[in-house]
Structure 1
């Protein structure tokens, strides 16, 4: 498992499963001859997208960013449509670190689309129960409201199976919220109306988890946004803002979906100056 240290904060990537989604949808109006130079695709025009939660350790707290694709949450048809070739093995990842799901104190959800939220619940004797039984789950108030009351478009990705069992664990915030010292959730909108990013600052080091307004390193260009984005101009605006702020600080950018890089640090001119690659074994 890959690790990155930001001052006194340690990030560790767990195995949360994988999807393979249409490259055209993931890069929106960007022509294939351009995006295919930045990110590989298969014969079906699909690109590999991990769904790997990030374990965050700071002080005595164990936090998780996102929850993975889960287990047994998708039908065979959904697995085919979403290219799910591997489901979550978070229990095993945590066990290798001497932890279990009961040791997770907080789960930070940038948004609640199925590929981020399926891992929040699990099957127990044909009943869905919380996966992280002792955790407080944070999401923006806007995101949580849409999760429970999706519109005609978003009902395809906001599923009651992912929220009904954990409703009592959820706490929401408006605007921005400091979860712990040096860790802040910021509501950005864009990909979804309630989408958030996560900022890390410790001992003069910084990192930003841009979540799905920059899901992979190939989305570095502020204009390269997803066809899945509900508010693409908002995504562009927020990418401009947080790329500018991050590059000024030489911040790390960390990823949930990227199949090749866990984190990258870019120069002001956009060149990679440091990186943490995903182990492809």
Structure 2
């Protein structure tokens, strides 16, 4: 399994922050179980295994973490319910160190949206920010949802994931397309959540795209494979119909947060659909 590629001046490394599981039916939405259960292992409680894969983007000067991970601040009941597992040292900090980066060296932490399975690791077991020297960025609408979720959104957000960042003035919000650094763009598209973003990494004529929950796993590349968790399925269809064909046509490196097997690959078009091809490092420049 390839976990590192080069996009121009950017070294991109797939990190680890454990794994968990969610209901298979919810993960695949309107897709019938006889179809999706052929694609993934299924646990006895009908959940399917998922990774939480942050990405390190390093240009030699800046060290950027995209999506910190699920974190370890969970009760035993929650760990059992969601099959949360950080065994074998599979934590964000240990994974970063294996990639040659200390937490205090991280300059930017980019959060595509503020769901707990994506940003729980932004604070450690002590409840304090992990990246104390970093700028933290998230869509403003996602920050607002985390602090004051309505009844439809409450299960997806935890205010204590971001409150410590705000208390120390480490978190900033943005609206519309935003570029924290030259060559990196965060593009809010919506659908899965109100402000969920794509993250494009562009340099030297090559492009990588972090798909967040717009395409969570390799089994969600076909356009109809939209999660029931998405707040606005019609918008998700529009977003996926626009961006997945473009990624395939332009041969982007595609970075997947929840795929437990292949976090890096390319989208490939066929006559009627799209699929995922794990990435060979030689495919990128």
TM-score computed with the length of structure 1 as normaliser: 0.92
- Other structure's SS at 1:213 match: coil
State the partner residue of 2:279: 275
Residue 106 and residue 148 in structure 1: after superposition, are their counterparts in 2 closer, same or farther (change >3 A)?
same
Residue 166 and residue 41 in structure 1: after superposition, are their counterparts in 2 closer, same or farther (change >3 A)?
same
Deviation at 1:76, TM superposition (A): 1.1
Runs of 4+ with >6 A deviation: none
State the partner residue of 1:83: 83
Residue 188 and residue 43 in structure 1: after superposition, are their counterparts in 2 closer, same or farther (change >3 A)?
same
For 1:29 and 1:274, locate their aligned partners in 2 and report how far apart those are by CA, in whole Å.
26
For 1:32 and 1:97, locate their aligned partners in 2 and report how far apart those are by CA, in whole Å.
38
- Other structure's SS at 2:93 match: helix
Q: Deviations over 1:171-225 (max 9, x none)?
A: 1221111122221000011111111110121111112111101100100111111
- Other structure's SS at 2:269 match: coil
Alignment of 1:100 onto 2:99: no
State the partner residue of 2:185: 184
State the partner residue of 2:117: 115
For 1:231 and 1:276, locate their aligned partners in 2 and report how far apart those are by CA, in whole Å.
34
Q: Is this contact kept in 1: 2:202–2:208, CA < 8 A?
A: yes
- Other structure's SS at 2:104 match: helix
Q: Deviations over 1:96-122 (max 9, x none)?
A: 233211111101101111101110112
Q: Structure 1, unaligned stretches of length 5 or more?
A: none
Q: Deviations over 1:9-30 (max 9, x none)?
A: 1111122111011111100111
The alignment yields a C-alpha RMSD, in angstroms, of 1.7
Q: Is this contact kept in 2: 1:27–1:225, CA < 8 A?
A: yes
Structure having the larger proportion of residues in strand: 1
Q: Which has the higher contact order (CA 8 A, sep 6+)?
A: 2
State the partner residue of 2:211: 210
- Other structure's SS at 1:64 match: strand
Q: Is this contact kept in 1: 2:24–2:48, CA < 8 A?
A: yes
Q: Deviations over 1:142-170 (max 9, x none)?
A: 11111111111212221122011011111
Q: In terms of mean alpha carbon deviation, does 77-86 or 102-111 score higher?
A: 77-86
Q: Deviations over 1:114-145 (max 9, x none)?
A: 10111011233xxx211111111111111111
Residue 37 and residue 276 in structure 1: after superposition, are their counterparts in 2 closer, same or farther (change >3 A)?
farther
Q: Deviations over 1:34-75 (max 9, x none)?
A: 11222222232221111121111124000001111212x111
Q: Structure 2, unaligned stretches of length 5 or more?
A: none
TM-score computed with the length of structure 2 as normaliser: 0.90
> What is the number of residues matched between the two proteins?
273
**What does residue range 229-244 of structure 1 map to in structure 2 within 5 Å?**
229-244=230-245
Q: In terms of mean alpha carbon deviation, does 187-196 or 174-183 score higher?
A: 174-183
Alignment of 1:142 onto 2:144: no
Deviation at 1:273, TM superposition (A): 5.2
- Other structure's SS at 1:189 match: coil
For 2:114 and 2:100, locate their aligned partners in 1 and report how far apart those are by CA, in whole Å.
28
For 1:194 and 1:69, locate their aligned partners in 2 and report how far apart those are by CA, in whole Å.
19
State the partner residue of 2:161: 162
